[in-house]
A and B are shown apart, each in its own frame.
Chain A
Amino acid sequence: MLLEMLQSLPQVLIDGLALGAVYAVVALGYTMVYGILQLINFAHGEIFMTGAFIGTTFFILLMGMGWVSSVPQIFVLILVLIVTACLTGLLGMGIERVAYRPLRNAPRLIPLITAIGISFILQDVIRFIAELSSGNYIVTGPSLFTDQMTISFSSLSSIFNDASFKTSFLIVLVTAFILMISLDYFINRTKWGTAMRAVALDRETASLMSINVNKTISITFFIGSALGGATGVLFAVQYGTIDPFIGFILGMKAFIAAVLGGIGNIRGAMLGGILLGLLEMFASANLTLLTGGIFGAEYKDVFAFSILILVLIFKPEGLLGKPTAEKV
Chain B
Amino acid sequence: MKETLAKFLQYKWSQVILFTVFVAVSSAALFFSQKSVTAFLLLLSSLLILHYIKLKNVTKWIIALGLLFILIPFASSGGPAFQSYMDVATMVGIYVSMALGLNIVVGMAGLLDLGFVAFFAVGAYSYSIFATPQAANFMPFGTYPLGGESFWIFLIIGGVVAAIAGVLIGIPVLRVKGDYLAIVTLGFGEIIRILFNNADKPVNITGGAMGIASVTPPEIFGIPLIFPNQFYFVTLVILLFTIFTVLRLERSKLGRSWKAVRENEIAAQAMGIPLVKTKLLAFALGASFSGMMGVVFAAKQAFIDPTSFTLLESFTILVMVVLGGMGSVPGVILGAAVITILNLQVLTELATWVNQLSFGGVISIPEALSPAKMQKFIFGALLVAFALYRPKGLIPAKNKIFDEKKLKESSTHKDFKTTDQKKIQS
Q: Which residues of A are at the interface with B, using a C-beta cutoff of 8 A?
A: 38, 40, 99, 102-103, 106-114, 116-125, 127-128, 131-132, 137, 248-249, 252, 255-256, 259, 293-296, 298-299, 301-302, 305, 308-309, 312-313, 316, 326, 328
CB distance from A122 to the nearest CB of B (A): 8
Q: How far is the CB of B184 from chain A (nearest CB, A)?
A: 6
Known contacts: A113-B387, A294-B202, A309-B184. The answer to whether A121 contacts B194 by CB under 8 A is: no
Given contacts A114-B383, A326-B266, contact A121 B388 (CB under 8 A): no
Residues 282-340 of B contacting A (Cβ, < 8 Å): 311, 315, 318, 322, 326
- Please state if B187 and A305 are interface contacts (CB–CB under 8 Å): yes
| B358 CB, min distance to chain A CBs, angstroms | 14
Question: Cβ of A112 and Cβ of B182 under 8 Å apart?
Answer: yes
Q: Could you tell me if B383 and A312 are in contact, using CB atoms closer than 8 angstroms?
A: no
On whether A111 and B387 interact (CB within 8 A), knowing A116-B315, A298-B197, the answer reads yes
**Which of B124-132, B230-238, B366-374 is the contact stretch?**
B366-374
A304 vs chain B, min Cβ distance (A): 8
Complex: chain B residue closest to A111, CB-CB = B387
CB-defined contacts of B380 to chain A, threshold 8 Å: 116-124
B112 at interface by CB-CB < 8 Å: yes
Q: Which residues, 162 to 209 on B, are CB-close (under 8 Å) to A?
A: 172-173, 175-180, 182-184, 186-188, 190-191, 194-195, 197-198, 202
Most chain-A CB neighbours within 10 Å: which of B114, B202, B387, B388? B387
A266: min CB distance to chain B, Å: 19
Within 8 A of A (CB), among B337-384: 366-369, 373-377, 379-384
Report the minimum CB–CB distance from B312 to chain A (whole Å). 9
The residue in chain B whose Cβ has the minimal distance to the Cβ of A113 is B387
Interface class of chain B by DSSP: helix
Q: Is the CB of B179 within 8 A of A131?
A: no
- Tell whether, in the assembled complex, residue B198 and residue A117 are in contact, meaning their CB atoms are under 8 Å apart: no
Q: A102-B388, A128-B368, A299-B194 are in contact. Are A120 and B184 (CB under 8 A)?
A: no
What chain A residues lie within 8 Å of B186 (beta carbons)? 252
Tell me if B228 is interfacial: C-beta within 8 Å of chain A.
Answer: no
A125 with B183, Cβ < 8 A, contacts A109-B106, A131-B367, A293-B202 known: no
Shortest CB distance A147–B (Å)? 36
Add 10 more A-B contacts to A107-B110, A114-B388, A252-B183 (CB < 8 A). A110-B391, A111-B387, A112-B112, A118-B384, A120-B377, A259-B183, A293-B202, A298-B198, A305-B187, A309-B184
In the assembled complex, how far is the CB of residue A113 from the closest CB belonging to chain B, in whole angstroms?
5
> Of B110, B176, B374, which contacts A124 at CB under 8 A?
B374
A302 and B388 within 8 A (CB): no
Residues of B within 8 A of A127 (CB): 368, 373, 376
**Residue pair B179, A40 in contact (C-beta under 8 Å):** yes
Contacts of B383 in A (CB 8 A): 113-114, 116-117, 120
Q: Which residue of B lies closest to A137 (CB)?
A: B368
- A123 vs B315: C-alpha distance when bound (angstroms): 14
Q: Which 8 A-B pairs have the closest CB atoms?
A: A120-B380, A117-B383, A131-B368, A305-B187, A124-B377, A121-B380, A117-B384, A124-B376
**Chain B residues in contact with chain A, CB under 8 A?**
106, 110, 112, 114, 172-173, 175-180, 182-184, 186-188, 190-191, 194-195, 197-198, 202, 266, 311, 315, 318, 322, 326, 366-369, 373-377, 379-384, 387-388, 391
Docked Cα-Cα span, A300 to B318, in Å, equals 27
The one of B175, B194, B266 in contact with A328, judged by C-beta atoms closer than 8 angstroms, is B266
**B202 partner residues in chain A, CB cutoff 8 A:** 293-294
Q: Is the CB of B194 within 8 A of A309?
A: no
By a CB distance below 8 angstroms, the chain A residues around B311 are 248
Query: Could you tell me the distance between the alpha carbons of A113 and B183 in the complex, rounded to whole angstroms?
Result: 12
Question: With A299-B194, A328-B266 as given contacts, are A252 and B187 in contact (CB-CB < 8 Å)?
Answer: yes
Is the beta-carbon distance between B368 and A132 smaller than 8 angstroms? yes
The docked-state distance in angstroms from the alpha carbon of A121 to that of B388 is: 15
Name the residue on A nearest B110 (C-beta): A109
A109 and B112 form a contact (CB under 8 A)? yes
User: A305 to B176, alpha carbons, bound, how many Å?
Assistant: 14
Query: B106 — which chain A residues lie within 8 A by C-beta?
Result: 109
| Residues of chain A lying within 8 A (CB to CB) of residue B176 | 312-313, 316
Minimum Cβ distance to chain A for residue B412 (Å)? 38
Q: Considering the chains assembled together, what is the distance between the CA atoms of A131 and B172 in angstroms?
A: 42
Q: Which residues of B contact A124 (CB under 8 A)?
A: 374-377, 380
The answer for the CA separation of A328 and B194 in the assembled complex, in Å, is 41
> In whole angstroms, how far apart are the Cα atoms of A132 and B367 in the complex?
8
- Among residues of A, the one whose C-beta sits closest to the C-beta of B191 is A302
* In the complex, chain B residues whose CB is within 8 Å of the CB of A316: 176-177, 180
A32 CA / B250 CA spacing, docked (Å) = 39
Residues in A with CB closer than 8 Å to B182 are: 40, 112
Query: Is B266 within 8 A of A132, CB to CB?
Result: no
Mind listing 6 A-B residue pairs with CB under 8 Å? A99-B384, A114-B383, A114-B384, A124-B375, A128-B368, A328-B266
Inter-chain contact B387/A305, CB cutoff 8 Å: no
B57 → A minimal CB distance (Å) = 30
Min CB gap B209→A, angstroms: 10
CB-CB < 8 A to A312: which residues of B?
172-173, 175-176, 180, 184
Chain A residues near B315 (CB-CB < 8 A): 116, 120
Complex CA gap A84/B187 in Å reads 30
A313-B322 contact, Cβ under 8 Å, with A99-B388, A113-B383: no
Q: How far is the CA of A248 from the CA of B311 in the complex (A)?
A: 10
Instruction: With both chains docked as a complex, state the minimum distance between the C-beta of B210 and any C-beta of chain A, in angstroms.
Output: 15
B198 near A38 with CB under 8 A, answer no
Q: Which residues of B contact A259 (CB under 8 A)?
A: 180, 183
> In the complex, A124→B394 CA distance in Å?
25
> How far in angstroms is the closest Cβ of chain B from A258?
10
Q: A121 touches which one: B190, B322, B377 (CB < 8 A)?
A: B377
Is the beta-carbon distance between B195 and A302 smaller than 8 angstroms? Answer: yes
Known: A117-B381, A125-B377. A299 touches B183 (CB 8 A): no
Contact of A128 among B110, B177, B369, B381 (CB under 8 A): B369
B186 to A, closest residue via Cβ: A252
Out of B191, B368, B391, name the residue touching A305 (CB < 8 Å): B191
How far, in whole Å, are A327 and B188 apart by their CA atoms in the complex?
Answer: 30
CB distance from B239 to the nearest CB of A (A): 26
Minimum C-beta distance from A74 to chain B (A) = 35
Q: A117-B379, A117-B381 are in contact. Are A108 and B179 (CB under 8 A)?
A: yes
A109 (CB) vs chain B CBs: closest residue: B112
In the complex, residue of chain A having the shortest beta-carbon distance to the beta carbon of B177? A316
With a 10 A CB-CB cut-off, give which of B110, B198, B375 has the most chain A CB atoms.
B198
Distance in Å: Cβ of B125 to nearest Cβ of chain A: 17
CB distance from B336 to the nearest CB of A (A): 16
